[in-house]
Amino acid sequence: MSEENRKTLEVYERTASTYLANTKKHDELDPEKAYQKSMNLKVFLGKTFSPLREHAKIFEIGSADGVTAKHLERIGFDVTASDVAEDFIKTIAETGVKVIKFNALTDEFPDKYDGILAWRVLVHFTPEDFEKLLGKVYDALEPYGRFAFNMMNREVREVDNEWVDFPGEYYMGEDRFYCYYREEDVRAIIAKTKFRIIDFHKEGGKHFDKWLVFVLEK
């Protein structure tokens, strides 16, 4: 586990409640945009995980407020949510979704899953963290299991990585480590594994290229 990820998790541990409050405020500023984003994610999750067996077991890494995990449960999946920060875990538990404390880089997955999701989580992973995670996720998936994740696109950023906080409504009070990836670099790391890329697209931002979205199959 990199120092960058470890220190970022310490920031989340201290600021999770601010993160939760500010995410809500951010959504309230532009409800139409927030609704559209949430609909896009729901469509993507349906398309990605519904080909799996009925009541498929889905594990979410870094669930934060638990909203995505709750949605997956509502549409019929057997969901395990997770996070590292205590305030996130409490908030997720209040939604009624099964939740565990889980560091994706240092803890062992407690079971095998049909699907694993890491949404806006790998932004805090160095390439070495990402490579390590891929190995762990591969081992934790059932045959033909799927891993869906997104990363921020390096092509639309000025630097490879940075420690940042966001002004305005996303303000957390402390910098977190963000790592940006080029599509070809992500593909090169995936090529070292036995995963098959079954879906890829870019989305978000003014030019629909802020995020790289991958779905891998075991």
Ligand X SMILES: C[S@@+](CC[C@H](N)C(=O)[O-])C[C@H]1O[C@@H](n2cnc3c(N)ncnc32)[C@H](O)[C@@H]1O
Footprint on this chain of ligand X (rule: CB under 6 A): 5, 9, 12, 61-64, 83-85, 88, 103-105, 119-121, 124
- State in angstroms the smallest separation of the CB of 121 from ligand X: 4
Residue number of the CB closest to ligand X reads: 62
- State in angstroms the smallest separation of the CB of 19 from ligand X: 7
Query: Quick one: 96 or 144, whose CB is closer to ligand X?
Result: 96
Residue type, 197: I
Query: Quick one: 172 or 198, whose CB is closer to ligand X?
Result: 172
Please check whether residue 111 is in contact with residue 57, taking contact to mean a CB–CB distance below 8 angstroms.
Answer: yes
DSSP for 158-186, written as a single string: SSSEEEE--SGGG--SS-EEEEEE-HHHH
- State in angstroms the smallest separation of the CB of 69 from ligand X: 9
Q: Which residues lie closer than 8 Å to 120 by C-beta, 6 or more apart?
A: 62, 150
Query: Quick one: 143 or 168, whose CB is closer to ligand X?
Result: 168
* Alpha carbon distance 86, 64 (integer Å): 10
- State in angstroms the smallest separation of the CB of 66 from ligand X: 9
Please check whether residue 13 is in contact with residue 86, taking contact to mean a CB–CB distance below 8 angstroms.
Answer: yes
Query: Quick one: 88 or 181, whose CB is closer to ligand X?
Result: 88
